[in-house]
Structure formats: C-alpha cells, structure tokens
Amino acid sequence: MVEGIVSFSDWQKLDLRVGEILEIEDVAGADKLYKLKIDLGTETRTLVAGLKPYYIKDELGGKRCIVFCNLEPRRIKGIESKGMLLAAVNDDQSEVKLLQPDGEIELGCRVS
C-alpha cells in the first residue's frame, strides 16, 4: 500500500455524523477552548474544541457540523471530550471553518 493512502475498509471504520451545537461554554484556564454540547439526534455529547480564536459563541449556537463520533474519548482540561468537530484549516491556521452539511438533513445522519 502507498504511504498515506487509506484503504476503503479503514474509511468505513470512521463514524462521521451530522450534529448541532446546542451549548457553548468557556473552558477555565484555556484561551482557545470551548466546551460544546452537541445534539446527534439520538444522543447529546460533550466535546472540547479549540474554536475560540475563530468563532464567538453567538456564531456557534445552532450551527450544524460534522462530528467524528467514534474517536477515542480524551480528557482535556478535566473535561471528557467524546468526539471531534471536523473543520477546514488553511496552512498558517489563521482560518478555521467548520464543515457543514449542504441544506437540511436529520441530526445523526451518517456522512459517507
């Protein structure tokens, strides 16, 4: 296999779903982090994301996004983060834009 190439079977292991940001909180002692409550249709999850330099809270509330759901949970600043929001990032990381579904689709729908 060519280095850096992902097999189709590996791609199928990823559980990417449409979510909606319900709540946004600052994380104590962290300049870049928000604690987010995400609605995935059948469940609500808490995620920690380094979006503070790129989005104000009002921009995030109600925003639909793509969530990497089967990522191993990780404790960040004492908060268990259960997933990751997907975003496009330019080379110097001066711009970060959340990936969003095109139009309306049910929360929890799989991305494939």
pLDDT of the residue at 1: 53
pLDDT digits (tens, 9 = 90+) for 59-90: 999 999 999 999 999 999 999 999 999 999 99
pLDDT digits (tens, 9 = 90+) for 13-65: 999 999 999 999 999 999 999 999 999 999 999 999 999 999 999 999 999 99
Q: SS3 for 24?
A: strand
Are 86 and 65 spatial neighbours (Cβ–Cβ below 8 Å)?
Answer: yes
Residue of 84, 46, 50 whose CA lies nearest to 65: 84
CATH topology of domain 13-98: OB fold (Dihydrolipoamide Acetyltransferase, E2P) (2.40.50)
Structure confidence at residue 18 (pLDDT): 98
